Amino acid sequence: MGLVLAIGLTLFTACGVDTPASSPSSPPPPGTTTVFTTLPQPNPTTSAPPSSAPQPPPSSQQPPKTGKVVVLDPGHNGGNSGRPGEINKQVPAGRGKTKPCNTTGTSTNSGYTEHAFTWDVSQRISQALVAKGIRVILTRQNDTGVGPCVNERAAIGNDAGADAVVSIHADGSNSAGAHGFHVAYSAPPLNAQQGEPSMRLATALRDGLRTGGFPTSTYLGANGLAPRADLGGLNLSTRPAALVECGNMRNAAEAAAMASEEGRQQYAAVIAKAIEDYLAAS
């Protein structure tokens, strides 16, 4: 699909998928679900998608509704770092455990943040899915708020009865040679939807990214898939759910792709296509 990353050699240590982050004034109430058919624009200084990002079709040309619902969960949030008291509070994380509400996420060595990357890519995925008649709900409305907490993010997908829940993240490993994407899913499963449906979703996302030219992780999981028992957002889900770590932001080649409009569009295109393929087969 065009963009094949030439990976040099350079996650988990910095991404903190289920650990703290921060926010601005008047963040949306926890657990609030917001459906975007025309998405609001985030703060342009932090994460606004470029003007060339795909736009939803005009209202007079809306595609037929498919009846499918997808919840997209852009990891972290831009205001998390300023509200440590909120994001460090302990919340349920499944399997009898608790974890911090959220984390700040990681960044490239040049300072491009994970929360900006996940917000931009999630908007692009949303626009692509909405254009196919799929209803999309985002777990946060902007890139300047705080949270929501991981348990609240899971509740959004559960309450929506989502056909698929996809969380978008990026890693920050300083391990030598660490690069590539992986897709996490809750294992061992705690309910029926965490079993075969979530495995199919994770596999569809893995296959889509690999077909799109993105290499699988060299440092976590196997063949691009990573069963996890410690991710609260996945443990608490009662819907088919998976978490995509798009790559390592500390790897020079992957950092360049994530920081570029072309790279973010390529990530979004292959993930959106993978979600469509999963829904079509469900």
Q: Which residues carry out catalysis?
A: 245
In angstroms, what CA-CA distances link 101 with 119, 232, 234? Answer: 18, 10, 14
Distance (Å, rounded) from C-alpha 219 to C-alpha 242?
19
Integer Cα distance of 248 and 70 in angstroms: 25
* Paired tokens of 207: 């296959």
Q: How far is CA 131 from CA 63, 74, 89, 161, 266, in A?
A: 6, 19, 38, 21, 17
- DSSP, collapsed to helix, strand or coil, labels residue 170 as strand
Contact (Cβ atoms closer than 8 angstroms) between residue 120 and residue 49: yes
C-alpha span between 35 and 112 (Å, rounded): 27
Q: Which of 162, 122, 160 is closest to 279 using CA atoms?
A: 162
Cβ atoms of 127 and 54 closer than 8 Å:
yes
Radius of gyration over every alpha carbon of the chain, rounded to an integer in angstroms: 17
How many angstroms separate the CA atoms of 221 and 17, rounded? 15
DSSP assignment of 178-217: ---BEEEEESS-SSGGGTHHHHHHHHHHHHHHHHTTPPBP
Give Cα 202 distance to the centre of its chain.
12
